[in-house]
Amino acid sequence: MRLPFAHTHADAVRGRSLLFGALLLAALCAFAALGASAPAETLHEEIDRKQAELDQVRSSQGDVAAEIDRQNARIDAMIGEVSALRQRHAAVRADLDAKQAELDGATAELAAQQDRLAEIRGRLSRALDVLRERMVAIYKSGDPDMIEVVLGSADLGEVEARAEYLERIHSYDESVVARVEDLRDQARRIVARLTALRDRLEATRDAIAAEERKLAAARESLEARWAELRSAKAERQRTLDSLASREQALADNLAALSSQGGGGGPSSSQPAPLTPGEIAKLLPDGTAAAPASAPPAVKTAIAAANEIEDFPYLWGGGHGSFEASGYDCSGAISYALHGGGLLDSPLDSTGFTTWGEPGAGRWITVYGNAGHAYAVIAGLRWDTSGTGGSGPGWTTEMRSSTGFIARHPSGY
């Protein structure tokens, strides 16, 4: 039999346990609620802070891009100037070579005329010796006339014989005199020719000296401008590196924000491939025929490229000015894009790495790096290498884009 007080004590203990459990559960719930709200508020503040940083990065990106545009314009102008200086240097070098060849020819002609003069003088000297001997003989024996011949002859036959002999002597004397006069005239003409040749040689030497001074000045200008161009390219590369690092930081931040916000992060989409009827055709003459379905800008870009398809390769050609006697890789691309109304001023291969929109385009893609650039327009490659010629041309063969940055005009 249980005592009354024992039953009352057990109930009291059980009640206190239930009360303690309820209080503990309430405390845990309150702590959990507090813990959940605190990180939520911290994440919200972090997102705001990162958003502000992203806005600042985007703003500075615009400044960097504008600076790159200025650097591209400056470098393009310098490439055009360096190309012109190179052509000027080559022209002066060619003029100098021509003058040197002229000098060599004049020198050889002078030597030949001097030999000829020595020969004529020798013959003239011998002729003068003969003439001198005849004059001495005539002086000593006298110059018989026809009256003496007739009076001194025994008969008519002797008269004829002596007259013929006398005529031969006179003819010989006249021939000696004529020979001396002719050799003398030849010698005078050769002397005059030699004098003219010496004057020509002197003028040619002066011209060569002037060309050499021009060549030295052109080389000095070229080297100075080339050094400036290298410096400008290095400065732009530093800016590009800065831009790349900022773009990477921007991408990381966007990915992080998208992940925390439950999104899947930024996505990259590839353009739909061209259908067979949308691909340009390579014609037998080396030009390209634009597809009928291509946008007008693509058609005019192809037409512009066809205009320079047979031009030679020229370093710096198409920079500083779209018009040139030859084109390099980026100059040829610039000409085509300008023809399509897609580019206002030429760009070099590095400049194309930040041009337009990132990634490949459906109709036009330009692939660039620090050393080369090529384009794919309506499915054909527009390039200065691997196209079967020494200048810009079309080809159906694609090349690896490894090491190149793909960019495209917006909407194409």
Higher pLDDT, 292 or 72: 292
CB atoms within 10 A of CB 339: 21
180 Cβ contact list (under 8 Å, min separation 6): 124, 127, 128, 131
Mean pLDDT of the chain: 78
pLDDT, tens digit, for every residue of 159-179?
A: 566 667 667 777 777 787 888
- With 0-12 / 13-18 / 19 or more C-beta atoms within 10 angstroms meaning exposed / middle / buried, residue 285 is exposed
Paired strand residues for 407: 358, 366
Higher pLDDT, 7 or 196: 196
Cβ–Cβ under 8 Å, residues 291 and 278: yes
Residues in the chain: 412
Cβ–Cβ under 8 Å, residues 320 and 229: no
Higher pLDDT, 351 or 25: 351
Domain range annotation of the chain: 65-233, 275-408
Residue 372's pLDDT is 95
pLDDT surpasses 50 at 116: yes
d(CA 194, CA 275): 77
pLDDT band for position 72 (50/70/90)? confident
Tell me the range of 93-97, 113-117, 306-310 where mean pLDDT is highest. 306-310
pLDDT surpasses 50 at 267: no
pLDDT band for position 85 (50/70/90)? confident
What single string gives the DSSP state of each residue in 110-125?
Answer: HHHHHHHHHHHHHHHH
| Residue 358, H or E segment | strand 357-358
pLDDT band for position 43 (50/70/90)? low
User: Among the listed ranges 38-42, 169-173, 217-221, which one has the minimum average pLDDT value?
Assistant: 38-42
pLDDT band for position 3 (50/70/90)? very low
For range 70-95, the mean pLDDT: 85
pLDDT surpasses 90 at 70: no
What's the angle, vertex CA 266, arms to CA 263 and CA 269, rounded to 5?
A: 125
pLDDT surpasses 50 at 7: no
pLDDT band for position 259 (50/70/90)? low
- pTM of the predicted model, to two decimals? 0.61
For domain 65-233, give the fold: Helix Hairpins (1.10.287)
pLDDT over 90, % of the chain: 31
Higher pLDDT, 63 or 190: 190
Q: Look at residues 354, 357, 322, 316 and name the one whose alpha carbon lies nearest to residue 338.
A: 322
Residue 55's pLDDT is 59
Distances (CA, A) of 244 to 106, 250, 302, 401: 63, 10, 32, 19
- Is 275-408 assigned to CATH 3.90.1720.10? yes
pLDDT, tens digit, for every residue of 274-329?
A: 999 999 999 999 999 999 999 999 999 999 999 999 999 999 999 988 999 999 99
Structure tokens at 396: 């159906």
pLDDT surpasses 70 at 17: no
Paired strand residues for 288: 282
For range 64-76, the mean pLDDT: 81
CB atoms within 10 A of CB 175: 12
pLDDT surpasses 70 at 347: yes
Structure tokens at 268: 């990259």
d(CA 286, CA 112): 53
pLDDT surpasses 70 at 143: no
pLDDT band for position 21 (50/70/90)? very low
Residue 15's pLDDT is 45
Q: How far is CA 227 from the centre of its chain?
A: 16
Q: How many CA atoms lie within 13 A of 70 on its CB side?
A: 8
Residue 117's pLDDT is 80
Structure tokens at 95: 């003029």
Higher pLDDT, 172 or 364: 364
Three-class DSSP category at 282:
strand
d(CA 103, CA 205): 7
pLDDT surpasses 60 at 254: no
Q: What are phi and psi of 380, to 5 degrees?
A: -110, 145
For range 181-199, the mean pLDDT: 84
